[in-house]
């Protein structure tokens, strides 16, 4: 197993890291989702378009595309390197959903024009949940008749910014994928509010024409979901790294009783423990990305990595808030942004409890395969 940074990961870091080096820009990106329910202020809309344009120009939407569709074929190693950077700035937008939709559409190797359009920068919103209690492993039901789709999905991230909707559902007992145009008259959106101050939508489709429905998607969905979970794990790891950096800065600059507060064990020990766990989670994610690019089944590892990163995000954000004290809960503090986003992001592709429930049969299967292999 390769745990060093690959050439693809180093190249992605070198290409995208300068985009987030400016502290003022980074602080603004972290607040892109903070907008009134009635509309989007012009400056925030301009910033979102600027960030999306910069990511597209740098090739973010082409990372997972094969070369025959104008992509880079950077694999999961390249994708998780970018996801770590996005987590560090609390990026809120359709990029990770667009990556998942790309792999879903690639399930049968067709739909070349759609894939090329996505590679050129057409954002895609992923619609999976029918209700808040749904798990992505078992998508909600949909009705797909005569090339027309009827369904309702909640918690669709940045749907208003998307050009396409990629709806994952269950039809006739099998997972199906259907891509539609977001601006079609039969599609309606209703903005939802969330604790993380993001932008989620309740989406209803009423006999909406389907642009693409990859054949054989049912067999591919577990693999596509595992890859999405791996990238979400990387996003959470990046979020934890940035939150820890905020906490360390606060601990070394804020003084009490004539010394930095970081010298007090009650604050220093939780930060030290978080640093160790973040490093472990980071390398688990990167090692799993290497396995994915070798064609190894990562369903077990991806679920384990996401459960680990989700739990870690909760403890890291709590430690960060403790270091910042009352100031950390004020509007001007970035620490409260990390705390809010972690509450949402850690359950987006499956809560830790649901992930552990999925892991059990996979562990049993691995043990059974191991026993058979020794005979």
> Whole-prediction pTM value?
0.92
Both tokens of 210, joined, read 């389907």
Strand segments, DSSP code E, in the chain are 124-127, 143-145, 148-157, 164-171, 174-181, 187-192, 200-209, 255-256, 259-260
What integer pLDDT is reported at residue 37 of this predicted model?
47
Average pLDDT along the chain: 88
For residues 367 and 222, what is the distance between their CA atoms, to the nearest angstrom?
20
Residue pLDDT, tens place only, 241-266:
999 999 999 999 888 888 888 788 88
pLDDT per position as a tens digit, 103-126: 999 988 778 899 999 999 999 999
pLDDT, residue 308, reads: 94
- What is the Cα–Cα distance from 126 to 324, expressed in whole angstroms? 35
Q: Give 296-312 pLDDT, tens digit per residue.
A: 999 999 999 999 999 99
Q: Which residue has the tokens 């979102």?
A: 48
The DSSP element (H or E) to which 141 belongs, if any, is none
Q: Which residue has the higher pLDDT, 38 or 354?
A: 354
Which of 29-33, 112-116, 128-132 shows the lowest per-residue confidence on average (mean pLDDT)? 29-33
pLDDT tens track for 159-214 = 988 999 999 998 878 889 999 999 999 999 998 877 767 788 999 999 999 999 98
3-state SS, one letter per residue, for 242-281: HHHHHHHHHHHHCEECCEEHHHCHHHHHHHHHHHHHHHHH
Domain spanning 219-374: CATH 3.30.360.30: no
């Amino acid at each position: 197993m390769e745990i060093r940074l690959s050439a693809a990961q180093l190249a992605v870091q070198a290409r995208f890291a300068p985009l987030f080096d400016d502290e003022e820009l980074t602080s603004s990106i972290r607040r892109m989702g903070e907008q009134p329910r009635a509309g989007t202020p012009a400056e925030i809309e301009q910033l979102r378009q600027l960030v999306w344009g910069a990511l597209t120009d740098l090739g973010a939407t082409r990372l997972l595309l094969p070369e025959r569709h104008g992509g880079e074929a950077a694999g999961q190693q390249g994708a998780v390197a970018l996801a770590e950077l996005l987590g560090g700035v609390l990026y809120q937008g359709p990029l990770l959903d667009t990556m998942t939709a790309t792999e879903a559409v690639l399930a049968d190797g067709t739909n070349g024009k759609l894939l090329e359009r996505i590679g050129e920068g057409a954002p895609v919103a992923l619609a999976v949940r029918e209700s808040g209690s749904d798990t992505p492993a078992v998508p909600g039901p949909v009705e797909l008749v005569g090339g027309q789709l009827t369904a309702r999905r909640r918690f669709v991230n940045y749907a208003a910014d998307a050009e396409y909707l990629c709806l994952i559902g269950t039809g006739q007992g099998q997972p199906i994928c259907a891509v539609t145009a977001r601006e079609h008259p039969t599609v309606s959106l209703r903005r939802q509010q969330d604790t993380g101050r993001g932008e989620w939508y309740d989406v209803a489709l009423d006999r909406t024409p389907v642009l693409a429905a990859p054949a054989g998607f049912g067999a591919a969905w577990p693999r596509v979901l595992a890859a999405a979970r791996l990238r979400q794990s990387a996003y959470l790891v990046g979020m934890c790294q940035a939150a820890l950096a905020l906490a360390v800065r606060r601990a070394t600059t804020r003084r009490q009783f004539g010394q930095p507060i970081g010298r007090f064990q009650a604050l220093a020990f939780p930060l030290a423990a978080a640093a160790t766990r973040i490093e472990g989670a980071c390398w688990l994610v990167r090692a799993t990305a290497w396995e994915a690019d070798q064609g190894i089944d990562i369903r077990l590892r991806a679920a384990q990595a996401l459960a680990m990163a989700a739990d870690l995000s909760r403890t890291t954000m709590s430690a960060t808030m403790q270091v910042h004290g009352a100031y950390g809960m004020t509007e001007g503090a970035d620490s409260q942004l990390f705390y809010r986003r972690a509450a949402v992001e850690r359950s987006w592709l499956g809560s830790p409890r649901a992930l552990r429930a999925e892991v059990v049969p996979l562990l049993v299967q691995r043990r059974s395969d191991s026993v058979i292999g020794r005979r």
